[in-house]
């Protein structure tokens, strides 16, 4: 597991990593910056970021749990319909936090102010993907990034807060 322990005199929190992808419709619409800004504003640290065209191998690995389902071919076609922007975020409770910022998979059910409520119109083209668990994040990160592409230096908001509290 990619968990990082932050210790302050007053509390201890664990950080985790998640995989986020701005899907082809988000890239084509030119809203990558708007989406990334939501995560940065929250205070999550971007430890990897790149634009790429998803290969067959990556697409099949990413959606392996859906293989054999009727919608599987459409998922593969969609994720390869244009470039994606893949990123790894790190922060306290980042898997759940990023999913909250993204909103429900179906934009019609997403809370106002979430990425999908603000930028997506239909479930099948919902502009962004985020891992649903720490275990899924670890698997998905390995599909799109090599270990040497992850930048471990720099500080996240959690690290800055703990550092500030330690000085107080």
Residue positions annotated with a catalytic role: 129
DSSP 75-99: HHHHHTSS-EEEEEEEEETHHHHHH
- How would you write 19-67 as a 3-class SS string? EEEECHHHHHCCCHHHHHHHHHHHCCEEEEEEEECCCHHHHHHHCHHHC
In whole angstroms, give the CA distance from residue 3 to residue 117: 30
In whole angstroms, give the CA distance from residue 105 to residue 119: 12
Q: Which residues of 142-155 are buried (b: 16+ CB within 10 A; e: fewer)?
A: ebbbeeeeeeeeee
């Amino acid at each position: 597991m990619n968990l990082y322990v932050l210790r302050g005199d007053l509390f201890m929190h664990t950080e985790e990593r998640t995989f986020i992808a701005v899907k082809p419709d988000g890239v084509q619409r030119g809203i990558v910056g708007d989406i990334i800004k939501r995560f940065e504003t929250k205070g999550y640290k971007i430890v990897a970021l790149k634009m790429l065209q998803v290969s067959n191998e990556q697409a099949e690995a990413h959606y392996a749990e859906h293989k054999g389902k009727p919608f599987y071919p459409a998922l593969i076609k969609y994720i390869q319909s244009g470039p994606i922007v893949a990123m790894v975020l790190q922060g306290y409770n980042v898997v759940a936090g990023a999913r909250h910022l993204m909103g429900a998979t179906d934009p019609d059910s997403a809370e106002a102010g979430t990425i999908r409520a603000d930028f997506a119109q239909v479930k099948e083209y919902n502009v962004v993907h985020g891992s649903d668990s720490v275990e899924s994040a670890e698997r998905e990160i390995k599909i799109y990034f090599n270990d040497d592409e992850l930048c471990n230096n720099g500080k996240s908001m959690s690290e800055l807060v703990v550092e500030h509290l330690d000085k107080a």
